[in-house]
Chain A
Amino acid sequence: MAKKDTFNALVTRGVETSVADELLTKFSTLKSISEAGVEGLMEIGLSEEVANDVITKVGKRASRSTAKKKAEEVEVVHMEIVSNKHHEYSDEEKKLLAMEEELGIKLPLKVIVDIASRLEGADISDEKCRELLTVADRMYQSHRMDPHESAGVMAAHSLGEPGTQMNMRTFHFSGVANILTTQGLPRLIEIVDARRIPSTPSMDIPLKGLAAEDEKVARLVSYEIETTSLLNIATVETDITNMRMIIHPDQRKMDERGVTMADIIERLNKVKALRGLVSSDDFEITVTSDEPSFKKLQVISDAVKNAKIKGIDGISRAVLTKDRDDRWKIITEGSNLKEVLKVDGVNNEKTMTNSILEVADVLGIEAARNAIIREAFGTLSEAGLNVDIRHIMLVADLMTNDGYVKAIGRHGISGRKSSVLARAAFEITAPHLLHAAMNGEVDHLEGVAENIIVGQPVTLGTGAVNLIYTPKKGDE
């Protein structure tokens, strides 16, 4: 940008022309001015007061991108760190780790832990321990993957090939809870699609403290989670002659779910269509229509019947069951991780939802990555298929690499490839080519698809290396 424009910009922002001139001796853009800060401006001889003034004026952009504004407004959820557990090394492990360092080798932690667990209590000399580590390292090195191996294609094949052996429609009851969850191929597709809401959202909520032991407490927790609608705790009657709805709460059911009359009235008053129409005596609640129209009464009737009195949005059912250790846990239909984590009695370290995007929103991208692995691996094992977890990890890492969950496909990774030809070969061919022309894109032919298109060796495996052979003098 020309200096003149900057000058004009400064003046329009209310900076004195003399000051603007002075500023332009050192800075050429508004950005550089704001970056310099008050100190930077004072260096070129402005008083602190003027400098401050300039900075505030420059900082105030005439108009900012609305998208940016939104980004700033996004609510920052500060969550208490619920767990900070990491592996506590045993003495045996510490010893082996020290030896490892001394030997100058680096084994995966899992190997060290496994060796240590076997050494526990056995009388093995340090010398033998060192030998164990050396041999383990030799074995490990021989099991490592070769450089330039096409790990991606291997993962894609390993996930895709078993797809043909999976069932299409496998709704599956998870545990005794009789909650339907999608399984099999549709679920796997849903996971790689990074769908915002899975077709059967469900949560697995272990309880803690008393709730885990005592069924009564557990049930109370489940009522905090499960949506209680008015119809769950009351009978509703429509009085057409008087244009009103009469609600007869069932005290027993209310007690069971821990709802009071006041709760109901408060909740009903929060519903837009009912505001100001609710009245009550000790036993009944009446909602009277303020207009003598049946249409309005119908609206009121629907609003009353659908009124949510208690529980968490999105969770239509919460079923109590016991886990393997005979402790109570809740399985739900519907998912709302953020709210469930706030409920007392919920073991929020172990609470899981099958909605990956929700995990990403609430717990962050690393958690989402683990959720993808957990869900995909679970779906495949459920179908009785063995797929090495490393393949699934690679897919999960690729999907979450940018800090948000990207889908596998046109709207996600494939649509964002840097190569024009690769994108055009995948889907929506013509628009990709036209846009590439408009933007003046350059295809550097680094990937697989584009090199196949132009008829060159790909950059993986043997195509990634060059072999040069120089014959010895005598051979010629």
Chain B
Amino acid sequence: MKGIIKKIDRINFGLMSPEQIREMSVVKIERPDTYDEDGYPIESGLMDSRLGVIDPSLKCRTCGEKGGECQGHFGMIELARPVIHVGFGDDIHKILRSTCTECGRVLLDDDEIEEFTEKMEELQEAGESVEDLVKDVYKICKDKKTKEVCPHCGAEQEDIKIVKPIDIIEVRKQYDENGELMTEEDGTPLTEDYDLTASEVREKLQRIPDEDAYVLGVNPEVARPEWMVLTVLPVPPVTVRPSITLDTGERSEDDLTHKLVDILRINQRLIENMDAGAPQLIVEDLWKLLQYHVTTYFDNEASGVPPARHRSGRPLKTLAQRLKGKEGRFRSNLSGKRVNFSARTVISPDPNISINEVGVPEMIAKEVTVPTYVNEWNIEELKEAILNGPNVHPGANYVKKTINGKEMKVRVLDDNRELVVENLEYGDVVMRHLKDGDIVLFNRQPSLHRMSMMAHEVRVLPYKTFRLNLCVCPPYNADFDGDEMNMHVFQTDESRAEAKSLMRVQEHILSPRFGGPIIGAIHDHISGAYLLTRDGFTVREDDAFQMIRKSHLLNNEYVDKKHLKRKNRDWTGKELFSLLLPDDLNMNYKAEICRKCETCLKEDCQYDAFVVIKDGQLTHGAIDEAAYGSFSGKILDTIVKEYGPSRAKEFLDRSTDLAICGIMKTGITTGTNDEEIPEEAIEVIDAHLDKAEQEVDKLIATYEEGLLQPLPGRSAEETLEMRIVQVLGEARDTAGEIAEGYLTMGKQSQDDSYDYVMAVENHSVVMARTGARASMLNLTQITACVGQQAVRGGRIERGYINRTLPHFKKGELGAKAKGFVHSSYKSGLDPIEFFFHAMGGREGLVDTAVRTSRSGYMQRRLVSALEDLKLTADGSIRNTADTIIQFRYGEDGTDPTRSVGGKVIDMDDLFTEVLGDDADALLRLDSRDVGEDYGSREKDEMEYFEEENSDYESETEYESE
């Protein structure tokens, strides 16, 4: 039956008794061979066809099914002598150490047994682990084992040791002929180690009564202690260890089969020798060998056991290795599964599609299909698709029909299309090609957060790459230097509906991490919007209409026709941008280009950095990263929260269109000319840096004379180092500031008198100041001075003995000798500086490599620890055991995604809504988190503050990409 998910309620774990193994077994395997000369499975061999078959041409002798249908059946090997199961070596040791040498009872008195039993039963009922209690039992008994007699039979105890992983040793006290305990001189009893054989271990375990086994951690309902020593070995079906035929026609057996052959061989030999009455020594050797093979069959990485190897020297992959680790069954096949209907290719940008869309190459669209039920509304379309066949785009690959209750899958081929179309009826399922508007999942690894996997609408496009809108690069952390992404096509209507309402890109504009937009404008969108909306930008009216048309604002449901009337004058960029804004939007904030002046002039800001939006009209301020950039877009944030994701999606799509129009109108260009400053400025900078270097020399001289006053709690050397770093840091900053003075975006205002020839339009600075790309630090490093290079958080130390390079004297401490780069990138680094710069750069790369693995593991642990926590209907957070972790989520139940920059509600909105104009007096626009980033709020409440120490950090910072 379709639509009903078969529910597994629970899984019980337990040990198998020898009887169960025998009962389950369909064949007793005795011959250590696989196939005979003709390639047929040997009877009672490891490939016996009663164990199931893989070859579809053969039939299983147990269930009669063909290969591929038969699940396989277990066989068994009767072991000539018992062997210990490696996985339980430790437990056997602990159990024997906790039980009486004579009677096998646990070394607890009856009260204790009862007490522990009660407690354990309680825990077991509550579904909790009894492990801690069992550990307690082991601990109590371990103490008693050597010091006391058995509380049940009064027997003297012999201690038990273990040599990992499976050698159980009894430490026997020595008695003389008279039965007197023999002791060392100091009174400690004389002992002798006796290796217990697996049979003896098994006998000892057998003596433990069920009630005692329970407190020792062996649940008698599903396990007996002696079952941890194997007498019969289950042989997994062939399907578990299929042999593969190489290209040469040679058969290659699975590692498990190899191991089982070894076990069988030794087992046979052991039987033969025992039957022949061979000397005890030989039997014991063979027994040990059998134990070795069974041990490595279970775990080939057990400590203290040399791993069994293939002829080539490669260690065999046996049972434990199959399960363990990243490539093991659990993490590789069970927690993550390979799927059909998925595709992967290189990604490339497309600013002309919506953020909700993904461009899918036609080639992929023809391969991954959507199962569609035929009904009266789509039958014509689907017939058309079938007629197109599998090779023409809106086509179909298969048709599923149910005839007489049997499902049939018909492949659409050139010669059967007509026939298939003729027979097509309601209820059939057509596997049609992916077409525009289908919902698919799109994903980029590493999938670090939920925005790494979002639902997109398909746009089938030519060529061979996936196309995506640039605004969705930040959540995927994607760029186009060869990144590849995956696409998955939904196969049911339920999943499609769920994805559309929960996983669509527009639903993820806000990040749950900080409650602000993570999808937003980047790079040219930002510089474009700035160039368009800054003061002084105007376009002729017909050009303006062209831009409106190109940005799809003409017949747009959200743009009121009244704004699109002719003005019979030039349009300003702000007027154009205002078309995108909802008519009732009111807000003001400080833009990214704000220079954080002492007193903000607000509307009169000379940089046009105070943004005022009144009734949907942008009256003051330029649009930049702070408006609609990813991570910080305030307008975008407001629109998602107030007008919903659909409106926000439209705003983002259209505003980026408009920004591109803007940037195409003004043009943008950058080159090293942008980092040009006048000769006299360079001189001033050089003088500054020279002065700083002299100051450093002076400090060194003072230090060498021993006159340097050490900082409290620091040695003179450390103090000197800190002072030097500080002086050089300040010097670089001053150099940067001087250069910044010349690096302006161009003529800032009408009365801006500065007319340095290169600075008329400086797009590098535009990009840095608006937040589009790069920073002023980058620019000043190009223009003025690169600054101190750091390795391991300090000046460069390593290299030759007492010096960094042979160009310096031993023990030289000066600026240059320890990695200060005086030059700018533009003027070029000298070889020594270049070398130090490369050192710093290398550290950055190593750092990135180490970081990815470390943070990846941290996240895996976090997810594993937190994945089961959910908000229950009563507002509490609980885990699967129904333990309350939080009584109210986050202390106020607020969803971080929906919070207002972390706050529960927006106070200003509240007061405006209730009090209307009266509220103005109570609004705190000034003190509002204007210009501040999201998430920095609770600080005061937490009484947390940490003084900033930016001097040192800022220029040792190495931006790595």
Residue numbers of A with Cβ under 8 A of B are 1, 5-6, 8-9, 29-31, 61-63, 65-67, 108, 110-111, 114-115, 118-119, 122, 124, 128, 131-132, 135-136, 139-140, 142-164, 166-176, 178, 185-186, 188-189, 192, 317-320, 324, 333, 350, 373-374, 377-378, 381-382, 386-391, 393-395, 397-398, 401, 408-410, 412-414, 416-422, 424-426, 429-431, 433-449, 452-457, 459-462, 464
Contacts and interface: CB of A to CB of B under 8 A. Distances in A.
A448 B334 CA distance: 12
Contact of A168 (B88, B847, B883, B943): B847
Q: Can you list the 6 inter-chain pairs with the closest CB atoms, starting with the nearest?
A: A160-B859, A152-B869, A386-B935, A390-B890, A440-B219, A163-B855
B15 A438 contact: yes
Contacts of A455: 337
21 contacts: A108-B893, A132-B914, A139-B906, A167-B847, A171-B793, A174-B946, A185-B851, A192-B862, A373-B942, A378-B944, A387-B935, A388-B514, A398-B879, A413-B864, A417-B868, A438-B217, A439-B218, A442-B12, A443-B13, A449-B335, A455-B337
Nearest to A382: B946
Interface in B1-31: 5, 7-15
B866 interface: yes
B873 interface: yes
Interface string B778-794: 00000000000000110
B409 interface: no
Nearest to A441: B13
A65 B14 CA distance: 29
Given A174-B947, A185-B851, A439 B217 contact: yes
A136 B905 contact: yes
A144 B895 contact: yes
A429 B859 contact: no
B666 to A, nearest CB: 32
B885 to A, nearest CB: 5
Contacts of B328: 429
A401 B885 contact: yes
Contact of A416 (B129, B323, B515, B793): B129
A196 B386 CA distance: 67
Interface string B710-726: 01111000000010000
Contacts of A160: 448-449, 855, 858-859, 862-863
A239 B453 CA distance: 75
Interface in B700-716: 711-714
B665 interface: no
Contacts of A67: 136, 139
Contact of A447 (B851, B880, B939, B949): B880
B895 A398 contact: no
B896 A453 contact: no
Q: Which of B134, B324, B858, B886 has the most CB of A within 10 A?
A: B858
Given A65-B139, A148-B871, A440-B219, 8 more contacts: A9-B111, A111-B904, A115-B907, A151-B889, A155-B862, A350-B943, A390-B890, A457-B5
B331 interface: yes
B910 A146 contact: no
A377 B942 contact: yes
B904 A143 contact: yes
B772 interface: no
Interface stretch (B220-228, B745-753, B810-818, B826-834): B220-228
B949 A142 contact: no
Contacts of A175: 946-947, 949
B88 A438 contact: yes
Interface string B918-942: 0001101000000001111011001
Nearest to A164: B855
Interface in B308-336: 320, 323-325, 328, 330-331, 334-335
Nearest to B888: A108
B334 A425 contact: yes
A395 B866 contact: yes
A56 B323 CA distance: 54
B242 interface: no
A1 B331 contact: no
A453 B323 CA distance: 13
Contacts of B850: 168
B935 A444 contact: no
Contacts of B921: 122
A269 to B, nearest CB: 29
Contacts of B498: 462
A164 B111 CA distance: 55
A394 B449 contact: no
Contact of A442 (B13, B516, B905): B13
A397 B876 CA distance: 12
A135 B863 CA distance: 37
Which label, helix, strand, loop or mixed, suits the secondary structure of the A interface? helix
Contacts of B223: 437-438, 440
A140 B866 contact: no
B862 to A, nearest CB: 4
Given A161-B449, A192-B862, A168 B869 contact: no
B880 A430 contact: no
B737 to A, nearest CB: 22
Contacts of B913: 135
A108 B891 contact: yes
Contacts of A111: 904-905
A324 to B, nearest CB: 7
Contacts of B893: 108, 144-145
A378 B943 CA distance: 11
A418 B871 contact: no
Q: Which of B712, B872, B910 has the most CB of A within 10 A?
A: B910
B863 A158 contact: no
Contacts of B907: 114-115, 118
Contacts of A461: 502
A158 B513 contact: yes
Given A152-B866, A324-B945, A430-B299, A110 B871 contact: no
B549 interface: no
A160 B851 CA distance: 12
B587 to A, nearest CB: 17
B127 interface: yes
Contacts of A189: 854, 858
A437 B15 contact: yes
Given A408-B861, A425-B335, A449-B335, A150 B936 contact: no
A453 B875 CA distance: 29
A378 B936 CA distance: 10
Contacts of B136: 65, 67
Contacts of A168: 847, 850-851, 854
Contacts of A381: 935-936, 939, 946
B854 A145 contact: no
A390 B858 contact: no
A439 B886 contact: no
B335 A452 contact: yes
B8 A454 contact: yes
Contacts of A110: 892, 904
B934 A386 contact: yes
Interface string B691-705: 000000000000000
B571 interface: no
B320 A166 contact: no
Given A397-B885, A447-B868, A438 B91 contact: yes
A408 B714 contact: no
B637 to A, nearest CB: 13
Given A429-B330, A460-B870, A440 B222 contact: yes
B127 A156 contact: no
B871 A386 contact: no
B867 A139 contact: no
B87 A188 contact: no
Contacts of A29: 111, 114
Contacts of B502: 461-462
Nearest to B325: A429
A132 B450 contact: no
Contacts of B156: none
